[in-house]
Amino acid sequence: MRERKDSEPAIATGAPVGVVGAGTMGIGVAQCFAEAGYPVVVVDPDPAALGGGPARLRAGVRMAQLLRRRSSASAGSGSGAGAVTGTDSDSGADPGRGIGAGGGTPASSSPSPEARVVWSEKLSDLAPAFFVVECAREKVPVKEEILRQLDQVCGPDTVFASCTSCIPITRLGSFTGRPDRVIGTHFMNPAPLKDAVEVIRAPRTSEQTVRRTVDLLAEIGKQALVVRDAPGFVTNRVLMLTLNEAATVLGEGTADAETVDRIFQDCFGHPMGPLRTADLIGLDTVLDSLDVLREFTGDERFRPCALLARHVAEGSVGRKSGRGFYQYPEQRQRPEHHLVSRGGASHG
């Protein structure tokens, strides 16, 4: 771990990173820190979410190890055969990097990533954390309740980093007595396989908090791309309009889902089309994000289209439910309805 600068608060030896939310994003973020050697405490009030968390973490670690082995074998052969390419978003990031600190495999004598993670239903167990990543549902009241509680539980130097997809960080910081220590860390999905994190600084976010966040992300193999605060930031201010319009085109019968996505892949070079991307994110999360963008911008372009709203109402929310714009028979039917972690299943 990096050496502390004189202007920064001391971090207690062994202090954990906290993660709020045991959904898709929360588990992925926890894996990133655990593989880099940090102790992690994951909190979710839903017993079912916590109960399934260890198994999903183990599966994520196994997948990361498999991708590392394939990447190493490909590099050793000097050819592109067997190389792994991004298939989860339109970013085109290389999933062979950003896994653990510098993408390395922990030494065999070190604790496994799974052994570094503690699971809890109580936010009070985050009291010793020096950095907390909030991965709750994309609803302002949900995040407000969590941040107000964290503000009471955690020490005054703890940084609160929200994995919000769209909510302005200024608004989230207002729920605490430490807006200077509130920042956005918009991880992409799946978090362990993505190099970049969109970091959002609000006007009141301190330089110290930005530096601390950027340095910490670098330690876990992530590149921080710092942007100013605005609804949806850069990623989702653009992406959500694209996903909504793609669903509109599909609903109007202009083209079927496969053709819509093939146009983006074959004409524009995107690893995935917008409809498969929406299914990966979770159509419920896309709907929540559009609602937030419409609320904070007042722009009717963000009104969810009828087809998207209907899919969500029917519970066909994408990969995690086994059906969205496409069908995924290999996926177990496990829609994440628990309050905190449902919103964690996001593009980031």
Q: Which residues are catalytic?
A: 186
Amino acid at 203: P
Per the CB < 8 A criterion, the answer to whether 198 and 322 are in contact is no
Residue 156, judged by CB atoms within 10 A of its CB (0-12, 13-18, 19+), counts as exposed
Show the 3-state SS of the chain.
CCCCCCCCCCCCCCCCEEEECCCHHHHHHHHHHHHCCCCEEEECCCHHHHHHHHHHHHHHHHHHHHHHHHHHHHHHHCCCCCCCCCCCCCCCCCCCCCCCHHHCCCCCCCCCCHHHEEEECCHHHHCCCCEEEECCCCCHHHHHHHHHHHHHHCCCCCEEEECCCCCCHHHHHCCCCCHHHEEEEEECCCHHHCCEEEEEECCCCCHHHHHHHHHHHHHCCCEEEEEECCCCCCHHHHHHHHHHHHHHHHHCCCCCHHHHHHHHHHHHCCCCCHHHHHHHHCHHHHHHHHHHHHHHHCCHHHCCCHHHHHHHHCCCCEHHHCECCCECCCCCCCCCCCCCHHHHCCCC
Q: What are 228's strand-pairing partners? A: 201
Angle at 51 between CA 45 and CA 55, to 5 degrees: 130
